[in-house]
A and B are shown apart, each in its own frame.
Chain A
Amino acid sequence: MLDRLTLSMRASHVLAALLVVAALVLAVVGSAIGDTFYLRLATEALIFAGLALSVDLLLGYSGALSLGQALYFGIGAYTSALVLMKVPSFWLAMGAAAGMTFVCAIIGGLIANRVRGVYFALITFGLAQVVAKVVYNIRDLGASDGMIGIPVIDIGIGPFSVSAGNPVGFFLVVLVIIMALYAATAYLLDTPFGRVLTALKANEKRVPFLGYSVWRARMVCYLAAALIAGLSGALYPMLRGFVSPELMFFMTSGNAVISVILGGVGTLVGALYGSVFLVIIKSVIGSWTDHYLIIIGLLFMAGVLFMPKGLIGFVRPHVERMIAPRHLRETRAPEQDAPLKAEEVKP
């Protein structure tokens, strides 16, 4: 029988499909008019959407706010860059980035998962700051200048081959990868393990008494999120041909958090839409003022205060109503936070 969470997830899938359709339209139109810039900008937006997706997996499902997710994005990007300069193989770069991110995430996870809530946020923030600073000082990693000269690679997919320099081709490759990451995350959340994560966010203290290890669930979630960030990051040097320590800085992590809040926390697809939305408002508002951060900040605060499910929160209930079986139609959606009693608020 279909339940509420599965229904919400399906509604997200409908919106994700819509995004894919829009992307394909862009690809068709873009290639028809021979556009390069907008396709590559959209590719970049999708790559950062992957980072936002990883933030949403942590924040929206296990309830852990990471202020340093760019760390793994950066590790993925640097690993991929180093591999590509030696061997221009897409699959090797992706594999190495995944491996490296995974190893680093085990260490980071062991540190960060000792704590919860705001402390988790502060630790992840600090972790990323420290690593970024170290990278900033390592000459072999290009130090503050970063590394340029990452070749434009050909991506072999079975008998076919796509050049990363081909705007439409690479856009489609990134689209497939990011949507695959989205699908994998959605799949994960619709498994018994994923439901434990949802439970973790709803009431962490109750979870161990149901027989699940909170630490293990959080750790697996942390690793999965790091992998998503790392794989997204691995795509960046293929697109731009360089990496720089700024990719690990707080602003990169902060942008991902802003994307998630604007798009809608805990909706997965919201991270993707939020990321695209952020790119759009940045370039639109940025075209008439240098002080666009004020407007983004205001939008962000409005999102936190008044729109707990962001943009998706406006749209998804309608989609749910359209696709819901009858038995789920009348009941209240689980979107709203249940009102809580004062004693539960007190830490």
Chain B
Amino acid sequence: MNALDYLQFVLAPQVVNGLALGVAVVLVALGLTIIFGLLDVINMSHGEFYAVGAYLALALGAAHIDFWLLIVLVPVLMLPLGMVTERLLIRPVFNTKDRHVTTLLVTFGLALIAEDVLKLIFGPNTQRPPTPIPGASEIFGIILPNYRLFLIAIGAVIVAGVAFVVYRTRLGAMVRAAAYDRNMAASLGVPVSLVYSGTFAFGVALAGLAGVLLAPIYSIFPTMGRDFILLAFTVVIVGGMGSIWGAVVAGLLLTQVQALASLVISPVWTDPIVFGTMVAFLVFRPQGLFGRLGHA
């Protein structure tokens, strides 16, 4: 294979496809990092919320609700779910000393249940909603399905929207203040408890949105929540807890590393590479690329 062929057929598609996967990972990691950054809660059930979003989209889609409406409807439906989860499971143990471990365990239990409930309702088989935007486009000889192009675009819009809310609005300022020091925030009149459950619900809604958007590409099955979770946690740690730009940069970077590394070594070793990156960051730069929310 000559060099030009290699560039056109191997390298360039690898980078472009890695980008689409990167956007998917960023979408999943976004909610996780916000919850992690503000509440300091490792939400082990984040992947299951992603699955719930996908199944909601499937069920509503089967009831002939338009995909474009689902993009809005599913996250809205996820909000109360997140709110209730925070109230019932996170809040009661939030002020104990071991809350990091406790919240991790509680959400692990929730994940266990959620996965089985999904199987109970929807059965164990793999399902897939129709691709909302069919067809493929050719750009410089690289073929990319239109839906993936759309995904990259809407991913950018979502990230920009979230970043705008967190960094540029009064609401976001409250969130950041609460993340920095909740006592101080409370004394400044921030309704800390509402901000906490709101943020958790927001993170859950983002997971649901990721579910809606990614289901046409990655299919739907009860254990789908486990798929992205190690990668998403890695992105959160590498990017810095709660840092939105960190999640974006780390997500895109890590998937590129994975994509390009798999050209030269067996793809089986890409997991250890990703994991190794996580370890290296935890050891040498625990605050991540961009530092944690409210502290940067």
Assess whether A194 is interfacial by the CB under 8 Å rule. no
How many of chain B's residues touch chain A, expressed as a range?
35 or more
Additional pairs, 18, CB under 8 Å, beyond known A115-B282, A296-B112 = A63-B98, A126-B230, A126-B278, A134-B272, A261-B105, A291-B117, A291-B120, A293-B116, A294-B112, A294-B113, A294-B120, A300-B108, A301-B109, A304-B102, A304-B109, A340-B97, A344-B97, A347-B40
Taking a contact as CB atoms under 8 Å apart, the answer to whether B268 and A300 are in contact is no
Q: A118-B42, A337-B96, A347-B40 are in contact. Are A133 and B268 (CB under 8 A)?
A: yes
Q: A114-B282, A122-B237, A346-B183 are in contact. Are A305 and B97 (CB under 8 A)?
A: no
A81 to chain B minimum Cβ distance, whole angstroms, is 23
Residues of chain B with a CB closer than 8 A to A346's CB? 181-183
Assess whether B152 is interfacial by the CB under 8 Å rule. no
**What are 5 A-to-B residue pairs whose CB atoms are below 8 Å?**
A119-B237, A291-B116, A291-B120, A293-B113, A340-B95
Closest partner residue, chain B, to A201 (CB atom): B98
Assess whether B165 is interfacial by the CB under 8 Å rule. no
For A122, A261, A294, A296, the residue with the greatest tally of chain B CB atoms inside 10 Å of its CB is: A122
A127 to B99, CA, bound (A): 23
Taking a contact as CB atoms under 8 Å apart, the answer to whether B105 and A297 are in contact is no
Residues of chain B with a CB closer than 8 A to A125's CB? 230
A107 to B206, CA, bound (A): 38
A300 to B115, CA, bound (A): 15
Taking a contact as CB atoms under 8 Å apart, the answer to whether B279 and A294 are in contact is no
Assess whether A157 is interfacial by the CB under 8 Å rule. no
A243 to B119, CA, bound (A): 29
Taking a contact as CB atoms under 8 Å apart, the answer to whether B116 and A294 are in contact is yes
A59 to B117, CA, bound (A): 29
List B242-296 residues whose CB lies under 8 Å from chain A. Answer: 268, 271-272, 275, 278-279, 282-283, 286
Assess whether A345 is interfacial by the CB under 8 Å rule. yes
Q: A126-B278, A133-B271 are in contact. Are A293 and B182 (CB under 8 A)?
A: no
Assess whether B71 is interfacial by the CB under 8 Å rule. no
Main secondary structure of the interface of A (DSSP, over half): helix
Taking a contact as CB atoms under 8 Å apart, the answer to whether B99 and A301 are in contact is no
Residues of chain B with a CB closer than 8 A to A342's CB? 95, 182-183
Q: Select one of A115, A129, A254, A337 contacting B275, CB under 8 A.
A: A129
Closest partner residue, chain B, to A112 (CB atom): B279
Taking a contact as CB atoms under 8 Å apart, the answer to whether A297 and B110 are in contact is yes
Residues of chain B with a CB closer than 8 A to A297's CB? 109-113, 116
Assess whether B93 is interfacial by the CB under 8 Å rule. yes
Residues of chain B with a CB closer than 8 A to A291's CB? 116-117, 119-120
Assess whether B16 is interfacial by the CB under 8 Å rule. no
A300 to B89, CA, bound (A): 12
Closest partner residue, chain B, to A298 (CB atom): B113
Assess whether B101 is interfacial by the CB under 8 Å rule. yes
Assess whether B190 is interfacial by the CB under 8 Å rule. no
Taking a contact as CB atoms under 8 Å apart, the answer to whether A305 and B282 are in contact is no
Assess whether A137 is interfacial by the CB under 8 Å rule. yes
Residues of chain A with a CB closer than 8 A to B95's CB? 340, 342, 345
A118 to B278, CA, bound (A): 13
B residues adjacent to A (C-beta < 8 A): 40, 42, 89, 92-93, 95-102, 104-106, 108-113, 115-117, 119-120, 181-183, 230, 233, 237, 268, 271-272, 275, 278-279, 282-283, 286
B270 to chain A minimum Cβ distance, whole angstroms, is 11
Q: Select one of B42, B105, B109, B271 contacting A122, CB under 8 A.
A: B42
Taking a contact as CB atoms under 8 Å apart, the answer to whether A117 and B183 are in contact is no
A342 to B110, CA, bound (A): 27
Closest partner residue, chain B, to A338 (CB atom): B97
Residues of chain B with a CB closer than 8 A to A117's CB? 100-101
Assess whether A130 is interfacial by the CB under 8 Å rule. yes
Residues of chain B with a CB closer than 8 A to A254's CB? 108, 112
A126 to B272, CA, bound (A): 9
Assess whether A179 is interfacial by the CB under 8 Å rule. no
A114 to B283, CA, bound (A): 6
A213 to chain B minimum Cβ distance, whole angstroms, is 18
Q: A114-B283, A115-B282, A123-B282 are in contact. Are A300 and B230 (CB under 8 A)?
A: no
Assess whether A178 is interfacial by the CB under 8 Å rule. no
Q: A304-B102, A340-B95, A347-B40 are in contact. Are A122 and B113 (CB under 8 A)?
A: no
Assess whether A121 is interfacial by the CB under 8 Å rule. yes
A126 to B286, CA, bound (A): 16
Residues of chain A with a CB closer than 8 A to B100's CB? 117-118, 347
Taking a contact as CB atoms under 8 Å apart, the answer to whether B96 and A340 are in contact is yes
A346 to B192, CA, bound (A): 14
B189 to chain A minimum Cβ distance, whole angstroms, is 17
A111 to B283, CA, bound (A): 8
Residues of chain B with a CB closer than 8 A to A134's CB? 272
Closest partner residue, chain A, to B274 (CB atom): A126
Residues of chain A with a CB closer than 8 A to B183's CB? 342-343, 346
Residues of chain A with a CB closer than 8 A to B271's CB? 129-130, 133
Q: A133-B271, A344-B97 are in contact. Are A121 and B42 (CB under 8 A)?
A: yes
Taking a contact as CB atoms under 8 Å apart, the answer to whether A294 and B117 are in contact is yes
A346 to B100, CA, bound (A): 11
A264 to chain B minimum Cβ distance, whole angstroms, is 14
